[in-house]
Homo-oligomer: A and B are copies of this chain.
Amino acid sequence: MPDDADSSADSSADSSAGKRPARRLGGRAARKAIRSAPLAADKRAIRPGLEGGRYQPLTGHDIEKIHHAALDVLEQIGLADAIPSCRDLVLAAGGSLSPQGRLLFPRALVEDTIASAARNFPLYARDPRHDMEPWGDKVYFGTAGAAVHMIDARTGAYRESTSADLYDLARMADALDNIHFFQRMVVCRDLPDPLEMDFNTCYAAVSGTSKHVGASWVHPDHLAVSMEMLHAIAGGEKQWRDRPFVSMSCCFVVPPLKFAEDACSTMELGVREGMPILLLAAGQAGATSPAALAGAVVQEVAEVLAGLVYVNLIKPSHPCIFGTWPFVSDLRTGAMSGGSGEQALLMSACAQMARFYDLTGGVCAGMSDAKMPDAQAGYEKGYNHALVGNSGANLVYESAGMHASLLGACLESMVIDNDSIGGALRTVAGIRVDDESISVEAMRDVCTTGPGHYLGHAQTLDLMQSEYAYPVIGCRASPKEWVEQGSPTIIDRAEKKVAEILTTHFPRHISDELDADLRDRFPVRLDRARMMPT
């Protein structure tokens, strides 16, 4: 009943395949079997790092105008509340203070920073197969969020999220092909101590996936303890610095245009520790950034450029992700709204700005305002995934599992959203137009000497997996077949997949011995029994 690409591909166009007795395949059947066997990852219709850029909401003129406005904002309005170390660095580099004490950034400093900032750096994963090269037009989808609830997909009931939930969400991301990296999605509300919370957030995420991880820390001391653990996992500080597999999601700014003190101190430590920084400016249009969409983009670009100057003054060419995250307010209530068309426009425009600077862009898409995985969640995620993916955003955060404008996370939605992202990725892959694909000869065959249809044509069989992507749980059965299967809802199918993953998929890239050592040295709170099959 759930369509499964790998298992069903083998039985395509041969409805009796499931009952086929074991025997040596004849010529045509053998060719078909070869063609429908799983392709090498780099030949499949969808994969990490496909190249976007075919959706461009901003014109070149628009981009220039936004860029110059951001420079004006930094030069004339500047940022408030710089911590002394930040202020001293910027003043020494030619900055100044306004009469109100706001830190002003001269255009030349910003432009020089853009020119010399790190570009084309990989984001590493514990498993090198999951390393990412997030530059140019390449697109990767992943998670993020700081939800405080887990959602029951069937009832819509909300409960407080825990470190065990975070570990399970990481395992889901690890197992789902269209989720390319994992940034923490929920707050560990079982851990009231802030240090324990930050440390265990990092521990649960890193334990649950061998893909690249993003995490955050509210105080430098919390990061310092986590760094000791990351060095141990990497096999030493040098190994960590060679392949840092965790990046810091850092809200260094409180929009509009104010530095956040503790976040800045933590960021300074992260830079010194060689951790890539997601420079995150998350204003909310109409509340903490201008209501005009263009203005919301200008403000977030200005804020992230300020962060980029700051980091590059601490350490030139340190890897930074250009994290312009302009959110939307529903202006009728002032509440955040994450699923709107305006949201897709804002994030796509920001992806274009990062592309304009030739910097690694990180935006978000796929949050929903719906409280549970329903049709509203679907369309809000669908149009955001597709447009932001096609805009060429290098890293698309918050793309799976999130509901209620980021207040809740849902395991079943991870599975459902994985298929939505798969559809979006297929559009990012685009249409191959060449002498073979235009198919004039196939048409000539079929229409003039052939059977009048393409079902068994060699081209059709050849393209079955390289031209087409298949959903994991998305259902394409006819109504009749669906009824025969017992009319399984998408929640039925998602629950089944979640159970399958969570009962069987336990990443083992941290050895039992190392884990025991970590538990001796650090305040690990995740129950060891949760981390192995029962």
Cα distance A340–B468 in the bound complex, in angstroms: 9
Indicate if A316 sits at the interface (CB-CB under 8 A).
no
Indicate if A357 sits at the interface (CB-CB under 8 A).
no
Indicate if A272 sits at the interface (CB-CB under 8 A).
no
Indicate if A238 sits at the interface (CB-CB under 8 A).
no
Per-residue B-contact encoding for A292-308, CB less than 8 Å = 1, 0 else: 11111111000000000
A430: chain B residues at CB < 8 Å are 57, 345
Cα distance A447–B293 in the bound complex, in angstroms: 18
Cα distance A413–B477 in the bound complex, in angstroms: 19
Chain B nearest CB from A273 CB (Å) reads 32
Cα distance A464–B377 in the bound complex, in angstroms: 24
Given known pairs A287-B453, A378-B379, A460-B286, the reply for A330 and B476 (CB within 8 Å) is yes
- Interface pair A433/B58, CB less than 8 Å apart: yes
Per-residue B-contact encoding for A478-522, CB less than 8 Å = 1, 0 else: 110011000101110000000000000000000000000000000
- Interface pair A439/B341, CB less than 8 Å apart: no
A424: chain B residues at CB < 8 Å are 341, 383
Which of B296, B342, B432 is within 8 Å of A292, CB to CB? B432
Cα distance A468–B431 in the bound complex, in angstroms: 33
- Interface pair B416/A479, CB less than 8 Å apart: no
In this complex, which of A57, A289, A436 has the most chain B Cβ atoms within 10 angstroms of its Cβ?
A: A57
A297: chain B residues at CB < 8 Å are 431
- Interface pair A374/B489, CB less than 8 Å apart: yes
Indicate if A385 sits at the interface (CB-CB under 8 A).
yes
Indicate if A529 sits at the interface (CB-CB under 8 A).
no
- Interface pair B292/A478, CB less than 8 Å apart: no
- Interface pair B58/A55, CB less than 8 Å apart: no
Which of B15, B62, B65, B371 is within 8 Å of A487, CB to CB? B371
Cα distance A425–B341 in the bound complex, in angstroms: 8
Indicate if A244 sits at the interface (CB-CB under 8 A).
no
Chain B nearest CB from A73 CB (Å) reads 6
- Interface pair B423/A469, CB less than 8 Å apart: no
A420: chain B residues at CB < 8 Å are 379, 382-383
Cα distance A208–B404 in the bound complex, in angstroms: 37
* Chain B, Cβ-Cβ closest to A346: B431
Indicate if A408 sits at the interface (CB-CB under 8 A).
yes
- Interface pair A8/B344, CB less than 8 Å apart: no
Which of B54, B332, B379 is within 8 Å of A8, CB to CB? B332
- Interface pair B433/A65, CB less than 8 Å apart: yes
In this complex, which of A73, A447, A471, A490 has the most chain B Cβ atoms within 10 angstroms of its Cβ?
A: A447
User: How many residues of A sit at the interface, in one of the four size bands?
Assistant: 35 or more
- Interface pair B478/A288, CB less than 8 Å apart: no
Indicate if A12 sits at the interface (CB-CB under 8 A).
yes
In this complex, which of A374, A469, A487 has the most chain B Cβ atoms within 10 angstroms of its Cβ?
A: A374
Given known pairs A291-B463, A475-B370, the reply for A383 and B386 (CB within 8 Å) is yes
- Interface pair A443/B257, CB less than 8 Å apart: yes
A58: chain B residues at CB < 8 Å are 431, 433
A446: chain B residues at CB < 8 Å are 256
Indicate if A381 sits at the interface (CB-CB under 8 A).
yes
Given known pairs A293-B467, A453-B288, the reply for A341 and B442 (CB within 8 Å) is no
Indicate if A92 sits at the interface (CB-CB under 8 A).
no
Given known pairs A65-B438, A295-B443, A463-B292, the reply for A475 and B371 (CB within 8 Å) is yes
Given known pairs A439-B292, A467-B291, A482-B371, the reply for A431 and B349 (CB within 8 Å) is yes
Chain B nearest CB from A381 CB (Å) reads 6
Indicate if A331 sits at the interface (CB-CB under 8 A).
yes
* Chain B, Cβ-Cβ closest to A56: B54
* Chain B, Cβ-Cβ closest to A349: B431
Cα distance A364–B342 in the bound complex, in angstroms: 23
* Chain B, Cβ-Cβ closest to A426: B341
A475: chain B residues at CB < 8 Å are 369-371, 376
A106: chain B residues at CB < 8 Å are none
A15: chain B residues at CB < 8 Å are 333
Which of B422, B434, B489 is within 8 Å of A156, CB to CB? B489
- Interface pair A405/B438, CB less than 8 Å apart: no
Which residues of A pack against B, CB within 8 Å? 3, 5, 8-9, 11-13, 15, 54-59, 61-62, 65-66, 69, 72-73, 76-77, 80, 98, 100, 102, 149, 156, 158, 256-258, 286-299, 328, 330-335, 337, 339-342, 344-346, 349, 369-387, 390, 404-405, 407-408, 413, 416-417, 419-420, 422-427, 430-434, 436-440, 442-444, 446-448, 452-455, 457, 459-460, 463-464, 467-471, 474-479, 482-483, 487, 489-491
Given A383-B423, A404-B479, 12 extra CB contacts under 8 A: A57-B431, A58-B431, A257-B443, A290-B439, A293-B431, A294-B437, A335-B478, A379-B379, A379-B381, A380-B423, A383-B420, A383-B427
